[in-house]
Amino acid sequence: MELVLEAIRLSASSSGLQPYEVLVVTNKDVREKMLPHAWGQQQIADASHVLVFAAWDNYTAERINMMFDLVNDERGFKNQGWEDYRNMLLNTYPQRDAQTNFEHAARQAYIGLGSALIAAADAKVDSTPMEGFVPDEVDNILGLKEKGLRSVIMLPLGYRADEGDWLVDLKKVRRSDEDFVTHVA
pLDDT per position as a tens digit, 88-128: 999 999 999 999 999 999 999 999 999 999 999 999 999 99
The CATH number of whichever domain residue 155 belongs to comes to 3.40.109.10
Mean local confidence (pLDDT), 148-156:
98
CA atoms within 13 A on the CB side of 167: 5
Q: Is the pLDDT of residue 154 over 70?
A: yes
19 found inside a domain: yes
Split into its structural domains, the chain has a count of 1
Tell me how far CA of residue 60 lies from CA of 65, 100, 174, in angstroms.
Answer: 8, 13, 41
66 found inside a domain: no
pTM attached to this predicted model: 0.92
Neighbours of 80 (CB within 10 A): 7
**Closest to 154 measured CA to CA, from 121, 118, 116:** 116
80 found inside a domain: no
79 found inside a domain: no
Question: Residue 67 burial by CB count (10 A; 0-12/13-18/19+): exposed, middle or buried?
Answer: middle
146 found inside a domain: yes
The helix or strand, by DSSP H or E, that contains position 155, with its residue range, turns out to be strand 149-158
Enclosing domain of residue 112: 1-59+96-179
43 found inside a domain: yes
What stretches of the chain show up as alpha helix (H) in DSSP?
A: 2-9, 28-34, 43-46, 61-75, 80-90, 98-122, 135-142, 177-180
74 found inside a domain: no
78 found inside a domain: no
